[in-house]
Amino acid sequence: MHDIKAIRQNPEGFDTALAMRGLSGMSSEILAIDSARRAKITAAETALAERNSASKLVGAAKAKGDEAEFQRLRQLVGDKKAEIAALEDEAKAEDTRLTDLLARIPNLPHPDTPQGADEADNVEMHRWGTPVSLDFKAKEHFELAAVGNRMDFETGAKISGARFVVLSGAVARVHRALAQFMLDTHTEENGLTEVNTPVLVRDEAMYGTDKLPKFGDDSYQTTNGWWLVPTSEVPLTYSVSGDILDESDLPRRMVAHTLCFRSEAGSAGRDTSGMLRQHQFEKVEMVSITKPEDSMDELHRMTKCAEGILEKLDLPYRTVVLCTGDMGFGARRTHDIEVWLPGQDTYREISSCSVTGDFQARRMNARFRRMGEKKPEFVHTLNGSGLAVGRCLIAVLENGQQADGSVLLPKGLHPWLGGKTQITAEGALK
C-alpha cells in the first residue's frame, strides 16, 4: 500500500517512479479522490460543530418560552444530523475508492533497480559453477531412464487433471530429502527459525501480502472463503500483522516448507512438459522482517542463503537483478537465481528474493518501536525461495544424468539419503 502523505508531498516523484515500471502517472487521479474525501470530512466536522452549537441553544430557547426559536433550532439540529450522516457516508465512499485504487498500484522501484521493459533488460550480477559438459545429448528430467514412471503425469492427470504429478520410489525420496536438506541448512547454518504454517488463509492475509485484489485469479479459493497459499510468504509475513514489535525483536528471520498452489492463470502453453510449472508444488520459503535501514542488506543476505543451497548441491547458477518492467507487483528490488538445466540448455528460475519495503507492512499494519521512542514505524518485509523443491529436483536429475540413464546425486545431499549416491537406470536408489 502506498503512503498517501508521501504522494501529497511529492506527486511528481510518485509519477516518475511509476513511469519506471512503464505506467502512466496517477497522482492527479489519486489526489483528486483524496481532496474530495478530505473535503467531505471537513464539511462533516463543520456540520457537527454547527449541530452542537444549536443543541446548546435549544434548551435556552425553551426556557425563555420562545417557541418559534425553539422549533427552528430543533429543526436545525435534525437537519444537521442528517447532513452529517450523508457527508460521512460520502467520505467513506471516497475513502473506499482511494484505498481500492492505491491497493492496485504496484510498489515503487528502489532507486538502484535497473530500468527496462522486460526480462531482456535484466542485469546479471554473477555466475557460479560451470555447466556440465556431456558427451551425449542431454535429456530433460522426465525423459531419464532413472525417472521413468516414478514421475507419473498420467496418474496425476487422472486424479486431479493437467499440471499435477505423482512422484514415487527413488524420485519421491530425493524430492523429500531436498526439502529436508534445505530446512536443515537454513536453520542450522543460516540462522532462520523454522515455522510450520497453515496453507489455508483468510482474505486479510492475502490482501496484507499484496496478493489481493489484483492476483485473485492466480490463486485457488475454497467454497467457504479460505485461500490456498500461493507460497508460505503469505502466512509467514502476515504473522506480524497488527503487531508493534520491539526494535530488539528485529530482524526476524523465518523459513517454512509447505505445499503451494497456483492456478497459473495466463500461462497456457508455457512449460507444459515435465514438472517446471505445476498447480501444486512444494517450496521452502524464507521471510525476513527488518528495520527500514537494514532491508537492502537483508536482501543480499537472503540471496546468499538461497545461492548457498545450490552451491552445496554443486548446481551451476546465475543471479540476475530484475529490471523495473519484469519485477513483481509488490517488489522494490528482486534478485532471481536461475539454475542450469542441461535438458533445456539454459538457465531457469529456481528462486526469487525480493524486498518490498513498507509496502506490505502498510497493508497489514505491521510496525516496530525503536528503543526510547514513542511513535512506532512500519517494518520492512522480504521474501525469497530457498528453494523451489520441485525445480531443484529437476536440476539435480538433469545435472547428474549419465549416458546409461542413471543419475549421480550431489555429494551434499548424500547425508539426507542415508548415504545413497545415485538412482540407477532401473530407478533404484543405491
Which active-site residues does the annotation give? Answer: 262, 277, 349, 352, 391
| Rounded-to-integer distance, Cα 42 and Cα 88, Å | 10
* 8 Å CB contact between 198 and 222: no
Burial 115-144 (b: 16+ CB within 10 A, else e): ebeeeeebeeeeeebebeeeeeebbbbbbb
| Rounded-to-integer distance, Cα 430 and Cα 418, Å | 10
The count of C-alpha atoms lying within 13 angstroms of the C-alpha of 150, restricted to the half-sphere facing its C-beta, is 23
Kindly report the CA angle at 85 between 83 and 86, in degrees rounded to 5? 65
| Rounded-to-integer distance, Cα 302 and Cα 405, Å | 36
| Rounded-to-integer distance, Cα 396 and Cα 389, Å | 10
The stretches of 276-383 forming alpha helices (DSSP H) are 295-312, 359-364
What does the block give as the cell for 277? 510449472
The backbone region for 163, taken as left when phi is positive above 0, alpha when psi lies in -120 to 50, beta otherwise, is left
Element containing residue 194 per DSSP (H, E): strand 193-194
End-to-end CA distance of the chain: 52
| Rounded-to-integer distance, Cα 256 and Cα 87, Å | 47
